[in-house]
Amino acid sequence: MSHAMQFSITIFLILAMASIGLGKIGLSDDDELSTINVRDFGAIGDGTTDDSQAGYVNFIIESGKTFLLKPIRFEGPCRASYINIQVLGTITAPKSIYEWGGQSVDNWLIFFRVNGLIGVSNKGPDALSFVGCNNLKLDHLNLINSPRRHVVIFNINGATISNLNIIAPKESPNTDGIDIGQSTNIQLHYCNIKTGDDCIAIGPSSFYINISNIACGPGHGISIGSLGLNGRTDKVEEVQVRDCTFTGTQNGVRIKTWEGGSGYARKILFEGITLNAADNPIIIDQYYCPNNMCSKQSTSGVKLSDISFTRVIGTTTTKNAINLSCSKSVACTNILLNHVNIKSAYSEDVVSSYCINAHGRFSDSVPPVDCLLN
């Protein structure tokens, strides 16, 4: 049987089980399975026709239904050119960790090596991981209250992600909106993200990432990193973040690296950024250490260069509107700030800038960045 038909049967079995029973998968030993005929999904079954050439496989999670699913791994490769999943109803995970049946709680729905995957939804699941799914398309998904990260993009070449609505409580830890790692050519546009951690985090080995029209807040902003953990050599290059709004966030646009790492982050552009009472609007933190138990005597660091902040405007609740804390061992170079206008959210306060070993230049900036070195 072809990979495409195996994938088709797997998905439809899951949905059929949920719809003919009580909408639950694998929660008891008494669930009855429906019989599924592959000819209902386009297979001819005459022993001659190549049933692997479906080309476009379409699955619909019907509206008005709520499907309770335990952790599931959808694994390719599939021979169909495109796999289209329409989530019109609601998919939910077990509420208690004990209902996961001893399975890993690190991931819930994993799509592994499923190329040409398209996800379209009106209501959506709580946590999605896509690994090795090249030419991925996600559009119009709602993701609510994941216990950890909401969307993980890993080891992917080519993805277009748009119109996601991601919501988690402001106080919820580690509930990143979208995490990207070891991926190339990722387009991320027109999303509304409200979480307790990074709205978007761009991790190691990420290249050619284009982000635009993101409404972030609450949350920890849009971050590159963290990079260099445990002395790793990490690389990030060609990242563009444009036309994004930050409201009540802990950070605006941020680059964070650990001391002792190596590698680089370069050719990075932040442009058209709007701030509404955001903490730390522009921040480079090469002393990232959330547990405050890190060595401060390192002689190495991730090299940051060719980083531009252009048309960054709005208000902040912190004194240092611009914080460029670069490594004392490896300087940041070619840092450019242009058309920056950040004022205090409190009318009587004046904001300032702060630098450590940051080299570059600025023009038309409020506050001025006089601490930049030539």
Flag whether pLDDT at 223 surpasses 90. Answer: yes
Q: By the 8 A CB rule, do 164 and 192 touch?
A: yes
pLDDT in tens, 163-215: 999 999 998 888 999 999 999 999 999 999 999 999 999 999 999 999 999 99
234 falls within a domain: yes
pLDDT number for residue 4: 38
Q: What's the sign of the alpha-carbon dihedral 72, 77, 79, 85? A: positive
33 falls within a domain: no
pTM of the model: 0.75
Would you call 324 exposed, middle or buried from its count of C-beta atoms within 10 A (0-12, 13-18, 19+)? buried
One-letter amino acid identity for 93?
Answer: A
Give dist(CA 71, CA 90) in Å, integer: 15
28 falls within a domain: no
103 falls within a domain: no
Please give the distance of CA 99 from its chain centroid, rounded to a whole number: 27
pLDDT in tens, 270-305: 999 999 999 999 999 999 998 887 877 778 999 999
* Mean pLDDT across 236-240: 99
135 falls within a domain: no
130 falls within a domain: no
56 falls within a domain: no
Q: Which is catalytic among the residues 3, 189, 220, 359?
A: 220
C-alpha distances (whole Å) from 220 to each of 171, 215, 280 are 11, 12, 10
220 falls within a domain: yes
One-letter amino acid identity for 83?
Answer: I
Q: Domain of 223: which CATH number?
A: 2.160.20.10
Supply angle C-alpha 113, 119, 124, rounded to 5: 115
The total of structural domains in the chain comes to 1
Give dist(CA 200, CA 195) in Å, integer: 10
Q: By the 8 A CB rule, do 144 and 167 touch?
A: yes
Lowest mean pLDDT among 124-138, 212-226, 353-367: 124-138
Domain that holds residue 344: 198-374
Q: Which residue in this structure is represented by tokens 């993980």?
A: 152
pLDDT in tens, 16-60: 333 333 233 333 333 333 333 444 545 444 555 444 444 455 566
* Active site annotation includes 220: yes
